[in-house]
A and B are shown apart, each in its own frame.
Chain A
């Protein structure tokens, strides 16, 4: 499980939101992402579509893969490259739940709690994850910056309740007793 690199673990705490003082420090040090080989990749993607706007979701993925989240400056960068306005890009970013608008833990843990998983004990799995990661509550990052746990709507693996997604990896049939072992493999 590859942790996202770049901005994570930089000067400010991973638990910070992308505004206020932390956001300001970020502004001065912002390095563009869509340059060099990443820009080449984006140029290849652009060939698949008849409009530049259509490359927005893929471009945002490139940004998030590089930095671990999508900051206001990243939004401005992609807006400029794709001939869009920063406001338009922000409108799209905020619509989709998978783009992080603030830094998250090195391991981003998503637990399905929609009804089918809930009926199979997802709430206990969530409680175990919050306890063993040290996150304490949903949406916050653990003090060591390693984990953020969130509840997520249906992950599309209901027959393997409870599915948990850790960064890009899917772990099926997670029960509270399996949680310590799963987390130990990450530490």
Chain B
């Protein structure tokens, strides 16, 4: 993984650096890889480059490995990890590298906002000027009206995530904030303020996947992918029976827990997709960590801080680690692998044995959830 933020290199530089770091960290320098999956959403539009997976195989000497770019909006990273997992689990490949990267700071802000908005429904949503923050704002409005969530609660989430990012050298924004400060920040998509919304980040992250037998040759602390769940939902939010319910999250979680043979009680640490702070609440509820409409009460009690019952977004989350769209799902997985291996330094969750990542695509119409556990 590389530090998220405004990076000097281009997309390929970031992908190559993150990939080589992952390969080195896995002690797999001399290994031949069978396949490479590259998660990326917008290289053609922001970097004027296509077929980036083939290019990365060339840059880091993985030729003649199979190579594919995986695009699933902001859940591209989760999808690429899932594809790598399925390829190894099926027996088709032994060694797989999954990398995710996005160069987002090259275009003007309004152009990037428009590009990301193109994942909404073309005729029912996009043409009206909808952006992803607008979707977040409309969800937050319902949460406030129906469940009594306030901007103070949204601020608490930001404060927690910024505090975690201060302890994460890979985070984009390594700066603490206060609830009062978040409440005075500029309005982006009313009621969402600047400190309730993720920044625009460049970034890249990578992981090495192989069978457990093989992994034990590289390390005595291999992490096992115990469960994967992915689900889609209708594309336009207007067509959902209840726009406050993230059905794809519910179904993806059910599938992942089912495969892993685990429940929410088994999870020690989670990375959720807080592109907007209200999403951290909604995902935590629809995964099943909290009752619907009640997650904010757990935040009042500090249950999701580093020392709480269930630490959420120890990396700083999308809010402070940053959201380099194609890289995000892979970065979540990297953080959890480090947590399970005990490599997170000051932000280490004590004795973390089982972890969950939730990578949320579109505005909830394609979610990928992974469950990890110690493999030793």
Chain A partners chain B: no
Q: Which residues of A are interface residues toward B (Cβ below 8 A)? A: none
